[in-house]
Structure 1
Amino acid sequence: MTAEDLKEYVGVIERMKSLMNSAEFDQVFSLLTSDLPKSKQFLLKMELKRMAQPCDYFIDLRGHVDGEVRPFVYREKTHYMDDKAIQIFENGIKQYGGYTLGVYEEVMNADNNFRVMHKKETAQRVKSALQTNESGDDNSSAATPGEQGAAKLVTFGHYVNRTEERMNFGIDVEVKINDSRFVATTSDLSISGCKLKIPKGRTAEPGDTVTINFTGLEQEFTLDIPQGIQYTLVDVEQLDKVNYWRLKKLPTEQDQNFSNFLEKFIHGNKRRYKVNLDNTTDAVTTKGYEQFYLPRLNSLPVYLAVNEGAVSPRFALTTDYNKSVWHYFLDEQQRSVLITLLSVKRLKPLLAQPGPERSTILYCFTHAAKGKLYYYSATAEELLAAPELRDTFFGFGATKPSWRVFHLNLIKTTAQHATATFTLPKAQQKTEQAEAKPVLSPLVQGVIKNLRYIASLTDISANNAVNYQQYNYNPANLSQLNQFGHRKLAQVPPCEAIPVQYINLRAESRYLYKTTVQLHQNEQMVAGFSRDFSTGGLQIETVEPVKYNKGDIVQLDLVDLQKITSKHQLTQLPYEVMAVSKSHTIMNLRALPTEDGHTGKQFFQQLIQNNRAKLTLAEETPKYPGLSEALRSMYLKALNNFAFYLHRKGIRYELNVIAQGATPNALHTLLLQHSKNGPLDLELLLKNSTANLQFAQQLKAMKRFDPPKSYELYIKAPRTTATSAASLESYYDYEFDNEQQKQAFITNTLREATLFAFRLFLSRTGRPDTDYIAREISYISVYAIHRAKTLEEELWSVAGVGDAVDISKELAWRYGCLEHVDDTSLRQQQLRDSRQS
C-alpha cells in the first residue's frame, strides 16, 4: 500500500508497475511526472523501487478474509488464499514480473480482508459523525425504518453454549461416504466436530457416517491416521453453489491421539487464525439488552408454587418501576393479598386458554372500614358471566381512588430454567476458574423447586377511571359486589418481594455512617441522624415525621461532623429531596449544586479519600443469596412481552432493536406479518418518525429514575380469516385531537374491523452493567478487539427501553362497546392465521 502522502499519485504508480524492469521506465516516468516538484518525483521513484523488490513472505489468509481459503502453490511454496486473493496475486505477478512487495501488500489489503473492512467501517462512522456535527441539523426526522435497516430481534434467555472453541480454518480433506470419495474443504474446525464445504451434487442425510482424511494437515504434520477419522452428519445447509455439512466426531479409541493433536493445534494457532465468536457475541448482545430491560420492568412477576394441588404465591420480582403494584396488594398489616387475588378458581380459565399468551384484564378497588382494608377484584371473563353486576362494579369501583386496571398474564415455568446461563468455551474457562459462577445453592434450589407458574401483573389504568365512571348502576345492588370481595385469611402464606439485582449502578459508592443531623423545618429544628452518605448525597432518618416531598429543598446541619473540621462550614447545607418513605421519617437527599461548590460535598469527598479503608460500604445482603438471579433467569425464559430499545447516534435516535422471550406476543406477530416474510419491518411502530419526534423528545426530558411515559398504539386489521399485511394500519393515541375523536375512532373500528391495542411504556436508561458481561467482552477482545468495541459502543448508545402490553381486551370495556367485549376469539384466530402464513 502506498504511503499516505503518495495516495494522490496512485494513478502514476499503477501506470508504472509494468514498466519497472523496462528500458522505457525513465522516459515514461519523466513524462508522467513532469509537472511535479523534484522532491515528489524522488519519493515516487523510491516507492516504485520498494514495491518492485523481490519478496519471499508466506501468505496465509486462513481466518483473515471473508472467503473460502485454499492452498495455492507458487514456485514450490504453498500459500493459503481465497479466490479473490489468488486473482490479485496472479495479476500482480504479471504486472511486476514476479512476486514482489507490491504484490504481497495488494493481496494483504484486499477489500474482503477483515482488517481492511473494519478500518473502512470505522472511517465511515467517523466521517458520518463529523458530517452530522458540521451540519448542525437534526435530519433524523426524515429517516425511515428502511433507511435504518432491518430490525434486530433479540431473544431473552437464549444463549448458544459451545463447549469448545471453533477455529475458522480452511484445509483440504478427503471425504468418504457410502463407497464414494471426493475432495472437500473445511470451513471451521474444533476438537469434536467440523464444518465442511461440499461441492454441489454430493448428497447425504443427517445420521450418515462420514470418514475424513485430513490430507491438508498431513502435508505439514505426521498424523498417522491412514484409516481416517469417523464423523456423523448432523445437519446439511444447502446454498446455491455449495452445501455445508456439519459433522460431529464419533468417539473411538483410535482418534485420541488426533484429538490431542487438534487441541494443541487450535490452542497454538487461535491467535493466528480467526476463532469463531458468533455464539459469544450473540450472548453478549442478549445479556446486555436483558440488563437494560429487567431493572425497568413495569410488570410485576409473581411466582406461584404448587404443593399437593394447592397454589400459592411465593415470590415477586420487584424493580423501582413495579414496586407500586407490589405495595398496592399489601393490606393494613402489610401482608400480601396475592393469594386471594390469584386463586385456583381464577387461574384455571387462564390455563384453559389456547396459547401462547394466556391473559385477561383484572379490575380492582379497595374499601376501608373499621381500620381494615378490603379488596375487590374481577376479571373480564367473570364480569362477562355476571352482566347484571358489571355496571355496578365499574360505576362504583371507578369512583374509588384505589381503582386499578391490570393486565394479568399467566406463563408456565420450571426450576430447571433457573440455572440455564451462558458459559464460555472450556479452553477459556480453565484460565478463569476463580471467576466461574457457582451453581445454585441447596437453599435456593429448595425454595424454587415447586415453582410452576408466573403471574405477571401490569398496571394499565392510566387515568381511565373517568371512562368507567360513565357506567350507570343501582346503589341497591352494591351489596351483591361481595361475591368479588377477597376473604380475610387468619394465616397468610408468606410471599416475599425479591429485588432485581444487577451491579450497583449508582454514580458513587455509599458508605454506612451514623452521625447527628439537624433539619431546618418552618423555623424549627428537627433532630435526626444519617444512615449512609456519598459525596453527592445522604440518607437521613428523623425522630418525627417531616412535611417534605420529592423535589423540595431542605437545609441541614451536620452537628457532630462540624466538630472535626474547621476548614468546611457544615451548617445550613442545601439538599434536594429525592425520595421520602411512607412514614415521612426517612429521606434520600442529593447535594444541591451552588455557585461556590457545595461545602458538604467537598467535605465528604475529603472524608472518603482519607478514610476509605475504615468506612463500610452500604451493600444489601439478600436473605437468599443467588435467588434474585435464579428468578430473573426463570422469568426471561418464560416471558412473552414485547421489548424495544432506542439508541442515540449523535443527535439522532434509532429504534431498530426489539426483543422477545420464549414466545412472541401479538405485536411480534403483527410486525412479522406486516414485513411480508422479509426483514423485520417496524413501520407500524415507527410511523411518522415516532422515534425522533415523540420518543426522543420524551427521553430528553426524562431522568434515569423517572417513572415511564405511556402511550397507546392501535393497529387496525380487516375482519377476515387472514390478516393482510398491506391492510394493517397503526395509530397512536397522541394523533387524536381529543378524547371524543379517539373514542369515535375506536368505536367505529371495533364495529367495522378488528382492533389490536397495546400500552407502551417508555423509560430512560442509564449506563450499561459492564461487569455483568465483562468475562464475555474480555474473551472476545483477545481475538477480535474491534468486535468487542463495536458491541460496547452498541450497548453504551442505548438511551431508552420500552415495553408493550396487549390491552385489546380492555379497550371495548373502557369505551362501553359491549357488543365487542368478546371479540377475543376472532383476534386469536387472525393471529394464528398470521403465524401459519
Structure 2
Amino acid sequence: MTTEDLKDYVGIIERMKSLMNSTEFDKVFSLMTSDLPKSKQFLLKMELKRMAQPCDYFIDLRGHVDGEVRPYVFREKTHYMDDKAIQIFENGLKQYGGYTLGVFEEVMNADNNFRVMHKKETAQRVKSVLQSSDSADDSPAPAQNEQSTAKLVTFGHYVNRTEERMNFGIDVDVQVNDSRFVATTSDLSISGCKLKIPKGRTAEPGATVTINFTGLEQEFTLDIPAGVQYTLVDVEQLDKVNYWRLKKLPTEQDQGFSNFLQKFIHGNKRRYKVNLDNTTDAVTTKGYEQFYLPRLNSLPVYLAVNDGAVSPRFALTTDYNKSVWHYFLDEQQRPVLITLLAVKRLKSLLAQAGPERSTILYCFTHAAKGKLYYYSATAEELAAAPQLRDTFFGFGAAKPSWRVFHLNLIKTAAQHANETFSLPGAPVKAEAAPDKAGLTPLVQGVIKNLRYIACLTDISATNAANYQQYRYNPAHLSQLNQFGHRKLPQVPPCEAIPVQYINLRAESRYLYKTTVQLRHNDQLVAGFSRDFSTGGLQIETNEPVRYSKGDIIQLDLVDLQKITTKHQLSQLPYEVMAVSKSHTIMNLRALPTDDGHTAKQFFQQLIQNNRAKLTLAEETPKYPGLSEALRTMYLKALNNFAFYLHRKGIRYELNVIAQGATPNALHTLLMQYSNPGPLDLELLLKNSTANLQFAQQLKTMKRFDPPKSYELYIKAPRNPAAPGAKLESYYDYEFDDAEKKQAFITSALHEATLFAFRLFLSRTGRPDTDYIAREISYISVYAIHRAKTLEEELWSVAGVGDAVDISKELAWRYRCFDQVEDTPRRLQQLSQNSKK
C-alpha cells in the first residue's frame, strides 16, 4: 500500500506502473518528476520497484468482501475472489505484466472490502465530530442519529439441515418446461442444490427440473445420460439473477449418484466453503435466547389439563421474576395461582381474537387472624361491575400489597419441549418423539399434560397513587368479597423451576458449616454458615431475626478464628442482601474497607490451599432436564418483544430485536411504520435514546440489579390521510412533571389512538459459551473468522430489554374508560386506515 507521504503523487504512480518493464521508463519518469526534489524522486522510484516485485501471496476474500466469492485459478493456484476483485486482478496483470505486490494490494484494498469500508466510515465519523466541534462555539454538539434498522431474531426457531451443503460453483445444463439453458450451481448437497439462473428464465415451484452436471462430467464419469431430476422448491428473485432451490427426486440411479456426491463433498469440504448459514443463524438465536431468559421479568406459569380440570403445575423462575412467585404464596407458603387462574378467566382469555390473549389483572391482599386473603379482578370483570370498580381501586391501591399485572395466555404442548436443532450430519431429533430428543421418561411424564402458559408481568411501578384517587363508599367494601380467593383445604402442587444456564455468580460458592455470631444494634445472634465465597456467605441463625436487605452487621467467625492468627476474623462488616421468609437464612456480602476486607483475604487463601477438599455448592434439580424442557416450550410459544443493546467502543447500539412464535403489538406497529422496507426502530430510538438514556442507565447498573422500567407511548392518528399525519412516540421521562404527562395522555386518548408499553431494561453478564460450544466449534472448522465474529457479537451485548402492552391499564389509570379498546382491533383499524 502506498505510504501517506506519497499519496499526493498517486497520479504519477498510476501512469508509471504500466511502464515498469519498458525501455521508456527512465525517460518518462524523468519528465514527469523533473519539478520534484531528488529525495521525492528517489522515494517514488523505490515505491514503484516495490509494487513491481513478483508476488505469490494466496488471496482468500471469503468473509472479507461484500460480494459472492468463487474459486479463481491462476498459475495452478486457486484464489477465492468476487467479481470485482477478479476484474482488479486481471487489470493489474495487464498493467504490471504479471502478479506483483501492487496487484495484491489493489485487490485487498477494493472498495467493497469490509476493512476498507470500516476505515472510511470511521474517518467520516471522526471528520463529522471534528466539524461539529469546530462549529459548536463551546456548546454541546447535537447527538448523532442512531442506526434505526434492526435485525429480527425469532426465538425457538432453528432451520435444520441433515446434510452439509458445499458452496460449489459449476456449470450445469438445465431442462424445464421444454426449455433448455445453461446455469451455475451456488451450493450443492446430496439431496438438493441451489442454482444461479439467468434473468428471464422462469418456472413455478413444484415444477420438475432435469439437470446434467456438465462441469462435473468433464472430470468424472457419472454415467447419467438422462440427467438428474429435481423438484423446484422455491424461487428467490434478485435484481440481476434468480436463485432456484431444488430438491432431488428419488430415481433408480439415485443411490449411485448420491454416493458419488457424498464422497465428493466429504473430500472437498476443506477446499470449497461449506454453507454455514443455518448453523450461524442457530448460534445467533440461541445466543440471544440465553441472554433473555435468565433476565425474564414475566413469570411463566405452566397449566396442566387433567380429566378436564386445569391447574398450575410449574412456574419458570429467574432472579427477576421471583418476586411475582413469592407474592402469590400464602401464609403457609402455598401458591394461590389455582384460584387466581380460574377456569372462567382462562375461558375469557381464550375467547379473545388475535394472536395475543391478554388482560390487566389487579390484586391486593388482606391479613386477618394470621391468614392472608387474596383479592383479584381482571379489567373485564371490573368493567362488568362498574359500581364496584372505584371501590376496588380506591381500597386496594391504598394497601402496600397492591399490584397490577399484565396477564397473557399462550398455548403450548409437550412436543414443544424438544430441542429441534442439530448440526448437519448429526442424528435428527424428531419433534414427535421426545425420547429421541434427550428427555428422560420422568420429564416426559411430568410435562405430558401441559397445555397452556399463563405469563404474569408486574407493571405496578408507581401507579398506585393514581388508583388511590378513586373515591368509594365504605359501605360497599363487603361487596368486594366476590373478588376474593377462597381458601382451599388441599392445593394441587405447583413448583418453582429455576431457569438453568451457566452459573451467573461472579465466583464459586463452597459448602461449609462453621459457627458464627452476628451483631446488629447491640444485639448478639448465634448461627452457622451454610456456604461461603470470597465475597460473601449464606448464614442460618438459631432463631428468627428482624434484619432487612441493606442492613450492615458485624460478623464473628468464631471457630475459624481458632485456626488462624494472621487474620482478625471478628467484627467483620457485611451487608444483608436477602432474608428468607422464615427470617432464619440470609445472604451476606462483604463490605469493602480501606485496608481490604480481612475475611475476603482469609477465604481466598482458604480456597487456594484447600480447593480439592472443598465441596462446590451446586443445586441438584428434582427433575433433571425439566428446566431445559420448560424453557424450550416457552421460547416456542412466547409473544414478548425483546431488544438488545450492544456496546461498540464508547457507543451503544440497539439494532437487534427478538420475537417468539407470533409478534405482539409493538412488533406490529414497528412493521407498519417500516412498511415497506427493513424493520425501522426510529419509534424506539428517537432523540438518541440508546446512548443518552439506556446506555447511561446501564453504566450505573450491576448485573443483578432489578430492571429499570420506562413507559413508551405511540400516538397514531385516526385519520392517516390528514396532512402531516404519522406515528409519533414519546417516553415518560420526556415530560417535566406528572401533570404534563397526564395532560398528554388524556388528550391523546381522546384525539388519536394511543398505544402504551412498559419497557424493562436489564444489564447482562457474560454469554453462556458452553451452551453454544458445539455450534461454534463446527463453524470454526470451516470459517474461523465467522465464529470469531459471532462470539464478538454476543460478548458485546450489554443490555437486554422486554416490553409488554399496558394500553388498557394506562387508560384506566387516568379514568378514560370510554377510550378503552382491544389492542388487536386498534391494530387492525390502523392497518386498514394505512392501506386507504
The Cα shift of 1:406 comes to 1.1
Q: Secondary structure in 2 aligned to 1:225?
A: coil
Partner of 2:355: 356
Q: 1:836 to 1:423 in 2, by over 3 A?
A: farther
Task: Find the counterpart in structure 2 of residue 272 from structure 1.
Answer: 271
The worse-fitting range, judged by mean Cα deviation, of 153-162 and 691-700 is 691-700
CA distance in structure 2 between the partners assigned to 1:491 and 1:689 by the alignment:
54
Among residues 13, 26, 35, which one is paired with 2:38 in the alignment? 35
**Against the structure 1 CA distance between its residues 634 and 783, is the aligned structure 2 distance closer, same or farther, given a 3 Å change threshold?**
same
Aligned to 2:325: 326
Q: Does 1:368 align with 2:367?
A: yes
Classify the secondary structure of the residue corresponding to 2:274: coil
**Cα pair 1:329 1:336 within 8 Å, conserved:** yes
More moved, 40-49 vs 502-511: 40-49
| Shift in alpha-carbon separation, 1:783–1:340, aligned structure 2, 3 A | same
Cα distance in structure 1, aligned partners of 2:616 and 2:248: 52
TM value normalised by structure 1: 0.90
Partner of 1:144: 145
The worse-fitting range, judged by mean Cα deviation, of 676-685 and 134-143 is 134-143
1:226 alignment counterpart? 225
| Aligned amino acid, residue 489 of structure 2 | A
Structure 2 residue matching 1:787: 3-state secondary structure: helix
Distance in 2 (alpha carbons) for counterparts of 1:76 and 1:373: 83
Q: Is the 8 A contact 2:410 2:638 kept in 1?
A: yes
Deviates more, 1:507-516 or 1:69-78: 69-78
Distance of 1:671 and 1:594 partners within structure 2: 50
The residue aligned with 1:614 is: 613
What one-letter code is carried by the residue in structure 1 that aligns with 2:91? N
The offset of 1:201, in angstroms, is: 2.3
Per-residue displacement from partner, 1:226-280 (whole Å, max 9, x unpaired)? 3322221111112232211101122334233332332333233333322222222
Shift of 1:171: 1.0
**SS of alignment partner, residue 772 of structure 1:** coil
1:831–1:347 CA distance, 2 compared to 1 (3 A)? farther
Q: In structure 1, what residue type is equivalent to 2:370?
A: G
d(CA) in 1 for partners of 2:561 and 2:129?
49
Summarize the alignment of residues 504-515 of structure 1 with structure 2, pairs less than 5 Å apart. Answer: 504-515=503-514
Q: Which moved more, 1:492-501 or 1:574-583?
A: 574-583
Match of 2:53 in 1: 50
Cα distance between partner residues in 2 of 1:736 and 1:77:
66
User: Structure 2 CA distance, aligned partners of 1:407 and 1:755?
Assistant: 18
Alignment partners' CA distance in 2, 1:717 and 1:129 = 34
Three-state SS of the structure 1 residue aligned to 2:53 is: helix
1:29, CA displacement in angstroms? 4.2
3-state SS, counterpart of residue 157 of structure 1: coil
Letter of the aligned partner of 2:329 in structure 1? L
Aligned to 2:243: 244
* Offset, 1:741: 2.3
Displacement of 1:121: 5.7
The amino acid across from 1:569 in the alignment is Q
User: Bigger shift: 821-830 or 226-235?
Assistant: 821-830
705-714 or 774-783: bigger deviation: 774-783
2:136 aligned residue: none
Aligned partners of 1:267, 1:680: CA distance in 2, in Å? 39
Are 2:360 and 2:378, in contact at CA under 8 Å, matched by a contact in 1? yes
**Uncovered stretches (5+) of structure 1, i.e. residues with no partner:** 431-435
> Which runs of structure 2 are paired with 1:172-571 in the superposition (5 Å)?
172-426=171-425, 439-571=438-570
1: CA distance between counterparts of 2:467 and 2:63?
65
Matched-pair contact (CA < 8 Å) for 1:511–1:534: yes
Q: Which residue does the alignment assign to 1:433?
A: none
Q: Distance in 2 between matches of 1:797 and 1:63?
A: 20
The whole-number CA distance in structure 2 between the counterparts of 1:745 and 1:49 is 70
Structure 1 residues 771 and 60, CA gap change in structure 2 (3 angstroms) = closer
Deviation at 1:345, TM superposition (A): 0.9
Q: 1:751/1:59 Cα in 2 relative to 1: closer, same or farther (>3 Å)?
A: closer
CA offset at residue 532 of structure 1? 0.9
Residue-pair matches, total = 823
- Change in 2 beyond 3 A, CA 1:801/1:41: closer
Change (3 A) 1:314 1:834: farther
Distance, in Å, in 1 between the alignment partners of 2:236 and 2:419 is 28
Q: What 5-or-longer segments of structure 2 have no aligned partner?
A: 134-138, 430-434
Is the contact made by 1:68 and 1:187 (CA closer than 8 Å) also made in structure 2? no
Give the secondary-structure state (helix, strand or coil) at the position aligned to 1:261: helix
Q: Is the CA contact 1:174–1:212 (under 8 Å) kept in the aligned structure 2?
A: yes
Q: Which amino acid aligns with 2:533?
A: S
Shift of 1:75: 9.7
SS at match of 1:306: strand
How big is each residue's C-alpha offset from its partner over 1:682-722, in whole Å with a ceiling of 9 and x where there is no partner? 22222222222222222222222121222212222223599
Matches within 5 A, 1:811-822: 811-822=810-821
Moved more, 304-313 or 595-604: 595-604
Tell me the equivalent position of 2:92: 92
Give the whole-Å Cα distance in 2 for the aligned partners of 1:400 and 1:476: 18
Deviation at 1:662, TM superposition (A): 1.1
Match of 2:640 in 1: 641
Is 1:806 the equivalent of 2:805? Answer: yes
- Per the TM alignment, residue 139 of structure 1 is displaced from its structure 2 partner at its CA by 8.4
Q: Secondary structure at the match of 1:563?
A: helix
Change (3 A) 1:572 1:68: closer
Q: Distance in 2 between matches of 1:724 and 1:675?
A: 19
RMSD: 3.4
Per the TM alignment, residue 136 of structure 1 is displaced from its structure 2 partner at its CA by 14
Task: Provide the residue aligned with 1:764 in structure 2.
Answer: 763
Deviation at 1:486, TM superposition (A): 1.3
What is the CA–CA distance in structure 2 between the aligned matches of 1:414 and 1:511, rounded to whole Å?
39
Deviation at 1:592, TM superposition (A): 2.2
**Distance change (3 Å), C-alpha of 1:639 and 1:21:** same
Q: What's the counterpart of residue 24 of structure 1?
A: 24
> 1:519·1:555 contact (CA, 8 Å) conserved in 2?
yes
Confirm or deny: 8 A CA contact 1:638 1:661 kept in the other structure: yes
The aligned counterpart of 2:622 is 623
- Looking at structure 2, the residues matched to 143 and 804 of structure 1 have their Cα atoms a distance apart, in angstroms, of 25
For the residue of structure 1 that corresponds to 2:185, the secondary structure is strand
Partner of 1:120 in structure 2?
116
Alpha-carbon distance in 1 for matches of 2:280, 2:209: 31
Report if aligned partners of 2:515, 2:558 keep a CA contact under 8 Å in 1.
Answer: yes
In the superposition, the TM-score normalised over structure 2's length comes to: 0.90
Give the Cα separation in 2 of the matches to 1:339 and 1:509: 37
Question: What per-residue deviation string (whole Å, max 9, x for no partner) do you get for residues 546-583 of structure 1?
Answer: 34332333222222222222332322222232222223
The change in CA–CA distance for 1:565 and 1:416 in structure 2 (over 3 A counts) is same
Cα distance change of structure 1 residues 799 and 740 upon mapping to structure 2, 3 Å threshold: same
Structure 2: how far apart are the matches of 1:826 and 1:285? 34
742 and 69 in structure 1: CA distance in 2 versus 1, 3 angstrom threshold: closer
Provide, for residues 37-92 of structure 1, a one-character-per-residue CA deviation record: whole Å limited to 9, x for no partner.
797477446525523x8x8x998989986555778898999998654344334423
Amino acid of the residue matched to residue 23 of structure 1?
A: T
Residue 186 of structure 1: how far off its partner (Å):
0.7
Distance of 1:290 and 1:761 partners within structure 2: 16
**Structure 2 matches for 1:661-672, cutoff 5 A?**
661-672=660-671
